[in-house]
Homo-oligomer: A and B are copies of this chain.
Amino acid sequence: MAIDPNSLLLRALRGEPVPRPPVWFMRQAGRYMAEYRAIREKVSFLELCHDPDLCCEVTLQPLRRFGFDAGIIFSDILLPLEAMGARLIFGKGHGPQFPEPIRDRAAIDALKAIDPWKDLPSPLRAIQLTAAAADVPILGFAGAPFTLACYLVEGAGSKEWVTTKRLMWDDPVAFGRLLDKLADMVAAHLQAQVDAGAAAVQVFDTWAGALSAEDFQRWALPYARKALSQVKGAPTLYFTRDAGPFLPWLKDSGADAVGLDWRVDMAMARAALGETPVQGNLDPIALHAPAEVIREKVHSVIRAAGPRGHVFNLGHGIVPSTPMAGVDAAIAAVKEWSWTS
Contact = CB atoms under 8 A, between A and B. Distances in A.
Interface of A: 160-162, 165-166, 169-170, 209, 211-216, 242, 244-246, 248, 262-266, 268, 281-283, 285-286, 288-290, 293, 297, 300, 315, 319, 321
Contacts of A242: 242, 244, 263
Given A169-B289, A289-B170, A213 B162 contact: no
B169 A264 contact: no
Contact of A248 (B212, B246, B268): B268
Contacts of A263: 209, 211-213, 216, 242, 245-246
Contacts of A212: 262-263, 281-283, 286, 297, 315
Contacts of A246: 244, 263
B209 A286 contact: no
Given A265-B213, A283-B212, A300-B214, A288 B244 contact: no
A321 B215 CA distance: 21
Contacts of A169: 286, 288-290, 293
Given A166-B288, A242-B244, 9 more contacts: A162-B319, A211-B263, A212-B263, A213-B263, A244-B244, A244-B246, A245-B245, A245-B264, A245-B268
Given A169-B286, A283-B215, A160 B319 contact: yes
A288 B165 contact: yes
A242 B215 CA distance: 16
6 contacts: A165-B286, A165-B288, A212-B262, A213-B265, A245-B268, A246-B263
Nearest to A163: B288
A290 B214 CA distance: 17
A285 B165 contact: yes
B297 A160 contact: no
A300 to B, nearest CB: 6
Contacts of A297: 212, 214
Contacts of A265: 213-214, 245, 248
A163 to B, nearest CB: 9
Contacts of A268: 213, 245, 248
Contacts of A214: 265, 297, 300
User: Which one of A169, A289, A290 has the highest number of Cβ atoms from chain B below 10 Å of its Cβ?
Assistant: A169
A26 to B, nearest CB: 14
Nearest to A266: B213
Contacts of A170: 289-290
Q: Which 7 A-B pairs have the closest CB atoms?
A: A244-B245, A213-B265, A169-B289, A245-B263, A244-B244, A212-B283, A169-B293
A58 B266 CA distance: 44
Contact of A213 (B209, B245, B264, B288): B264
B161 A285 contact: yes
Nearest to A245: B244
B319 A288 contact: no
Contacts of A244: 242, 244-246
A248 B271 CA distance: 13
B245 A289 contact: no
Contacts of A321: 162
Contacts of A245: 244-245, 263-265, 268
